[in-house]
């Protein structure tokens, strides 16, 4: 029983550097700014995979009391699969100002936001 527990503990200790290793392969993000209906600008990072598009895309929204950097360990794996990535700081988090809690549900950005995807995905 103790041998199994020791083996499990060793395995867990070996996994500690994994997120750090994943972050070392993180490419430089393309900074983006998205405007919400009330004029608040949300800050974000976009990552474009290598090659020619079009690319499938994913929007990464962080959890409570976090920011867009929480997704950095996942970004390299998504890029390897040819997926365009956009990670944003929600209201009152990270580099985005404003109150963290507003009317719920509240729109994140303006209705014209789908056009942002085509512009962002075609950026160098």
Average pLDDT over the chain reads 74
- Delimit the domains of the chain by residue range: 2-122
Question: What percent of the chain shows pLDDT beyond 90?
Answer: 25
* 3-class secondary-structure state, position 81: coil
Tokens of 26: 């993180």
**48-74: pLDDT as tens digits:** 999 988 999 999 988 888 889 999 999
Q: What is the pTM of this model?
A: 0.65
CA distance 17 to 19: 6
CA atoms within 13 A on the CB side of 58: 16
Tokens of 84: 């365009």
pLDDT given at position 111:
54
CA distance 57 to 91: 22
Tokens of 48: 């474009």
CATH label, 2-122, candidates 3.10.20.30, 3.40.1180.10, 3.40.50.1820, 3.30.365.10: 3.40.50.1820
**94-112: pLDDT as tens digits:** 777 777 665 555 555 555 5
* 3-class secondary-structure state, position 3: helix
pLDDT given at position 112:
54
Q: Is residue 22's pLDDT more than 50?
A: no
**109-120: pLDDT as tens digits:** 555 555 555 555
CA distance 96 to 118: 23
């Amino acid at each position: 029983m103790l041998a199994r527990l020791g083996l499990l503990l060793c395995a867990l200790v070996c996994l500690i550097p994994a997120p750090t290793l994943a972050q070392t392969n993180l490419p430089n993000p393309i900074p983006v700014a998205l405007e919400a209906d009330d004029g608040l600008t949300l800050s974000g990072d976009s990552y474009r995979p290598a090659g020619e598009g079009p690319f499938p895309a994913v929007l990464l929204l962080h959890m409570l009391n976090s920011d867009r950097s929480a997704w950095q360990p996942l970004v390299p794996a998504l890029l390897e699969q040819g997926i365009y990535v956009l990670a944003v700081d929600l209201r009152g988090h990270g580099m985005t100002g404003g109150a963290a809690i507003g009317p719920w549900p509240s729109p994140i950005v303006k209705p014209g936001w789908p056009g942002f995807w085509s512009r962002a995905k075609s950026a160098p």
